[in-house]
Amino acid sequence: NAGVTQTPKFRVLKTGQSMTLLCAQDMNHEYMYWYRQDPGMGLRLIHYSVGEGTTAKGEVPDGYNVSRLKKQNFLLGLESAAPSQTSVYFCASSYEIGETQYFGPGTRLLVL
Amino acid sequence: GENVEQHPSTLSVQEGDSAVIKCTYSDSASNYFPWYKQELGKGPQLIIDIRSNVGEKKDQRIAVTLNKTAKHFSLHITETQPEDSAVYFCAARMDSSYKLIFGSGTRLLVRP
Protein backbone atom coordinates (compact mmCIF):
# COMPACT_ATOMS: atom_id res chain seq x y z
CA ASN A 1 0.00 0.00 0.00
CA ALA A 2 1.25 3.45 -0.89
CA GLY A 3 -0.78 5.09 1.89
CA VAL A 4 -1.32 8.79 1.20
CA THR A 5 0.42 10.31 -1.80
CA GLN A 6 0.58 13.93 -2.91
CA THR A 7 1.49 15.57 -6.18
CA PRO A 8 3.38 17.69 -6.94
CA LYS A 9 6.17 17.65 -4.34
CA PHE A 10 7.24 21.21 -5.06
CA ARG A 11 5.85 24.09 -7.07
CA VAL A 12 6.64 27.73 -7.70
CA LEU A 13 3.79 30.04 -8.70
CA LYS A 14 3.53 33.68 -9.57
CA THR A 15 0.94 35.81 -7.79
CA GLY A 16 -2.42 35.36 -9.46
CA GLN A 17 -1.72 31.97 -11.01
CA SER A 18 -3.87 28.97 -10.22
CA MET A 19 -3.03 25.38 -9.44
CA THR A 20 -4.44 22.16 -8.06
CA LEU A 21 -2.82 19.90 -5.50
CA LEU A 22 -3.76 16.25 -5.71
CA CYS A 23 -4.07 13.87 -2.79
CA ALA A 24 -4.73 10.16 -3.18
CA GLN A 25 -5.16 7.42 -0.56
CA ASP A 26 -5.47 3.68 -1.00
CA MET A 27 -6.70 2.79 2.50
CA ASN A 28 -10.40 3.18 1.70
CA HIS A 29 -10.71 5.97 4.29
CA GLU A 30 -13.89 8.00 4.39
CA TYR A 31 -12.34 11.11 5.89
CA MET A 32 -9.76 13.32 4.25
CA TYR A 33 -8.16 16.60 5.27
CA TRP A 34 -5.99 19.38 3.89
CA TYR A 35 -3.61 21.22 6.23
CA ARG A 36 -1.06 23.92 5.79
CA GLN A 37 2.09 24.05 7.87
CA ASP A 38 3.85 27.33 8.57
CA PRO A 39 6.90 27.88 10.80
CA GLY A 40 5.97 28.17 14.47
CA MET A 41 2.26 27.62 13.79
CA GLY A 42 1.88 23.88 13.67
CA LEU A 43 -0.71 22.43 11.30
CA ARG A 44 -3.88 24.32 10.46
CA LEU A 45 -6.88 22.71 8.82
CA ILE A 46 -7.96 24.25 5.52
CA HIS A 47 -10.82 21.98 4.39
CA TYR A 48 -11.95 18.46 5.08
CA SER A 49 -14.29 15.83 3.67
CA VAL A 50 -16.45 13.25 5.42
CA GLY A 51 -17.05 11.22 2.29
CA GLU A 52 -17.25 11.17 -1.48
CA GLY A 53 -19.02 14.25 -2.80
CA THR A 54 -18.80 16.18 0.48
CA THR A 55 -16.51 18.99 1.61
CA ALA A 56 -16.46 21.41 4.53
CA LYS A 57 -14.44 24.38 5.74
CA GLY A 58 -11.76 24.13 8.37
CA GLU A 59 -9.93 26.86 10.27
CA VAL A 60 -8.31 28.71 7.34
CA PRO A 61 -10.41 28.08 4.18
CA ASP A 62 -10.17 31.50 2.51
CA GLY A 63 -8.47 31.44 -0.88
CA TYR A 64 -8.83 27.66 -1.31
CA ASN A 65 -11.39 25.34 -2.83
CA VAL A 66 -11.63 21.56 -2.66
CA SER A 67 -13.36 18.71 -4.37
CA ARG A 68 -13.89 15.04 -3.55
CA LEU A 69 -15.33 13.46 -6.68
CA LYS A 70 -13.88 10.05 -5.88
CA LYS A 71 -13.46 8.50 -2.45
CA GLN A 72 -9.74 8.02 -2.88
CA ASN A 73 -8.95 11.53 -4.13
CA PHE A 74 -9.11 14.95 -2.50
CA LEU A 75 -8.13 17.98 -4.56
CA LEU A 76 -7.06 21.37 -3.21
CA GLY A 77 -7.30 24.32 -5.56
CA LEU A 78 -5.84 27.80 -5.45
CA GLU A 79 -7.72 30.01 -7.90
CA SER A 80 -5.51 33.09 -7.59
CA ALA A 81 -2.35 32.42 -5.62
CA ALA A 82 -1.04 35.01 -3.15
CA PRO A 83 2.35 35.19 -1.38
CA SER A 84 0.54 34.48 1.90
CA GLN A 85 -0.21 31.01 0.55
CA THR A 86 3.46 30.11 0.50
CA SER A 87 3.51 27.09 2.78
CA VAL A 88 3.86 23.34 3.01
CA TYR A 89 0.56 21.58 2.35
CA PHE A 90 -0.26 18.21 3.84
CA CYS A 91 -3.10 15.91 3.02
CA ALA A 92 -4.28 13.35 5.54
CA SER A 93 -6.92 10.65 5.77
CA SER A 94 -8.53 8.71 8.57
CA TYR A 95 -10.82 5.74 9.05
CA GLU A 96 -12.93 7.56 11.62
CA ILE A 97 -13.52 11.29 11.97
CA GLY A 98 -10.83 12.98 14.02
CA GLU A 99 -9.07 9.72 14.84
CA THR A 100 -5.60 8.59 13.76
CA GLN A 101 -4.72 10.58 10.68
CA TYR A 102 -2.29 9.32 8.07
CA PHE A 103 -0.37 12.10 6.39
CA GLY A 104 1.10 12.39 2.94
CA PRO A 105 4.68 13.61 2.34
CA GLY A 106 3.62 17.19 1.67
CA THR A 107 3.73 19.72 -1.17
CA ARG A 108 6.00 22.70 -0.81
CA LEU A 109 4.48 25.75 -2.50
CA LEU A 110 6.25 29.03 -3.12
CA VAL A 111 4.23 31.98 -4.39
CA LEU A 112 6.29 34.85 -5.72
CA GLY B 1 -12.16 28.11 20.61
CA GLU B 2 -9.80 25.28 21.37
CA ASN B 3 -6.16 26.21 21.75
CA VAL B 4 -3.10 24.02 22.34
CA GLU B 5 0.18 25.39 23.62
CA GLN B 6 3.37 23.37 23.35
CA HIS B 7 6.71 23.79 25.10
CA PRO B 8 9.58 23.92 24.57
CA SER B 9 9.94 24.93 20.94
CA THR B 10 13.40 23.36 20.79
CA LEU B 11 15.02 20.72 22.98
CA SER B 12 18.54 19.36 22.83
CA VAL B 13 19.53 16.29 24.86
CA GLN B 14 22.45 13.93 25.05
CA GLU B 15 21.94 10.45 23.67
CA GLY B 16 20.63 8.20 26.42
CA ASP B 17 19.00 11.02 28.39
CA SER B 18 15.25 11.54 28.68
CA ALA B 19 13.22 14.17 26.86
CA VAL B 20 9.94 15.67 28.00
CA ILE B 21 7.59 17.80 25.89
CA LYS B 22 4.56 19.45 27.47
CA CYS B 23 1.26 20.66 26.06
CA THR B 24 -1.69 22.47 27.59
CA TYR B 25 -5.17 22.70 26.14
CA SER B 26 -7.95 25.16 26.73
CA ASP B 27 -11.17 23.20 26.23
CA SER B 28 -12.10 20.86 29.08
CA ALA B 29 -14.30 18.89 26.64
CA SER B 30 -11.22 17.62 24.80
CA ASN B 31 -10.96 13.86 25.06
CA TYR B 32 -8.39 12.63 22.57
CA PHE B 33 -4.70 13.60 22.57
CA PRO B 34 -2.38 12.24 19.88
CA TRP B 35 1.32 12.87 19.42
CA TYR B 36 2.91 13.04 15.99
CA LYS B 37 6.54 12.81 14.93
CA GLN B 38 7.68 14.60 11.79
CA GLU B 39 11.02 13.74 10.27
CA LEU B 40 12.71 16.10 7.86
CA GLY B 41 10.95 16.23 4.51
CA LYS B 42 8.16 13.90 5.58
CA GLY B 43 4.61 14.15 6.81
CA PRO B 44 3.71 13.77 10.50
CA GLN B 45 3.29 10.23 11.78
CA LEU B 46 1.31 9.17 14.84
CA ILE B 47 3.56 7.74 17.55
CA ILE B 48 1.22 7.48 20.53
CA ASP B 49 -2.15 8.74 21.68
CA ILE B 50 -4.18 8.88 24.88
CA ARG B 51 -7.83 9.33 25.71
CA SER B 52 -9.34 11.25 28.58
CA ASN B 53 -10.32 8.14 30.54
CA VAL B 54 -6.67 7.11 30.91
CA GLY B 55 -3.93 8.86 32.90
CA GLU B 56 -0.87 7.28 31.32
CA LYS B 57 0.06 5.14 28.36
CA LYS B 58 3.39 3.56 27.44
CA ASP B 59 4.87 2.07 24.30
CA GLN B 60 8.45 0.92 24.75
CA ARG B 61 10.56 4.06 25.25
CA ILE B 62 7.66 6.45 24.74
CA ALA B 63 5.01 7.39 27.27
CA VAL B 64 2.28 9.99 27.48
CA THR B 65 0.68 11.32 30.65
CA LEU B 66 -2.55 13.26 30.97
CA ASN B 67 -3.68 15.53 33.78
CA LYS B 68 -7.30 16.46 33.05
CA THR B 69 -7.62 18.73 36.08
CA ALA B 70 -4.71 20.87 34.99
CA LYS B 71 -5.54 20.37 31.30
CA HIS B 72 -2.08 19.35 30.28
CA PHE B 73 -0.44 16.29 28.77
CA SER B 74 3.18 15.36 28.22
CA LEU B 75 5.32 13.16 26.00
CA HIS B 76 8.21 11.34 27.66
CA ILE B 77 10.98 9.70 25.65
CA THR B 78 13.49 7.66 27.61
CA GLU B 79 16.94 6.46 26.52
CA THR B 80 16.89 8.84 23.58
CA GLN B 81 18.64 7.86 20.36
CA PRO B 82 19.81 9.99 17.42
CA GLU B 83 16.91 8.67 15.33
CA ASP B 84 14.53 10.32 17.79
CA SER B 85 15.66 13.67 16.40
CA ALA B 86 12.60 15.19 14.71
CA VAL B 87 9.79 17.68 15.24
CA TYR B 88 7.08 16.49 17.60
CA PHE B 89 3.52 17.82 17.58
CA CYS B 90 0.85 17.37 20.20
CA ALA B 91 -2.83 17.73 19.34
CA ALA B 92 -6.20 17.75 21.06
CA ARG B 93 -9.70 16.94 19.88
CA MET B 94 -13.13 17.45 21.38
CA ASP B 95 -15.56 14.57 21.47
CA SER B 96 -17.09 13.79 18.05
CA SER B 97 -15.25 16.68 16.47
CA TYR B 98 -13.60 16.41 13.09
CA LYS B 99 -10.90 18.78 14.13
CA LEU B 100 -7.51 18.14 15.66
CA ILE B 101 -5.95 21.31 17.09
CA PHE B 102 -2.18 21.05 16.85
CA GLY B 103 0.49 22.58 19.02
CA SER B 104 3.22 24.61 17.37
CA GLY B 105 5.77 21.78 17.52
CA THR B 106 9.00 20.93 19.36
CA ARG B 107 12.24 20.37 17.52
CA LEU B 108 14.12 17.63 19.38
CA LEU B 109 17.83 17.15 18.76
CA VAL B 110 19.55 14.12 20.25
CA ARG B 111 23.32 14.63 20.35
CA PRO B 112 25.40 11.46 19.85
| Chain B residues within an 8 Å CB radius of A24 | none
Residue-level pLDDT at B107:
96
Looking at chain B, which residue has its C-alpha nearest residue A100?
B46
Distance from CA of A48 to the nearest CA of B (A): 8
Phi (first) and psi of residue B8, to 5 degrees: -80, 175
pLDDT, one tens digit per residue, over B30-53 is 999 999 999 998 999 999 999 988
Q: What is the pLDDT along chain A (112 residues), one digit of tens a residue?
A: 789 999 999 999 999 999 999 999 999 999 999 999 998 788 999 999 999 999 999 989 999 999 999 999 999 999 999 999 999 999 999 998 778 899 999 999 999 9
Looking at chain A, which residue has its C-alpha nearest residue B93?
A98
d(CA A105, CA A63): 22
Residue-level pLDDT at A70:
96
CB contact under 8 A, A44 and B102: yes
| Chain A residues within an 8 Å CB radius of B47 | none
Q: Is B21 on the interface with A (CB under 8 A)?
A: no
Residue-level pLDDT at B96:
64
CB contact under 8 A, B45 and A106: no
d(CA B11, CA A40): 14
pLDDT, one tens digit per residue, over B69-105 is 999 999 999 999 999 999 999 999 876 677 889 999 9
Looking at chain A, which residue has its C-alpha nearest residue B89?
A42
| Chain A residues within an 8 Å CB radius of B96 | 97-98
Q: What is the DSSP string of B17-54?
A: S-EEEEEEES-TTEEEEEEEEE-TTS--EEEEEEETT-
CB contact under 8 A, B103 and A42: yes
Is the CA virtual torsion A30, A36, A37, A43 positive or negative? Answer: negative
Residue-level pLDDT at B33:
95
| Chain B residues within an 8 Å CB radius of A101 | 46, 100
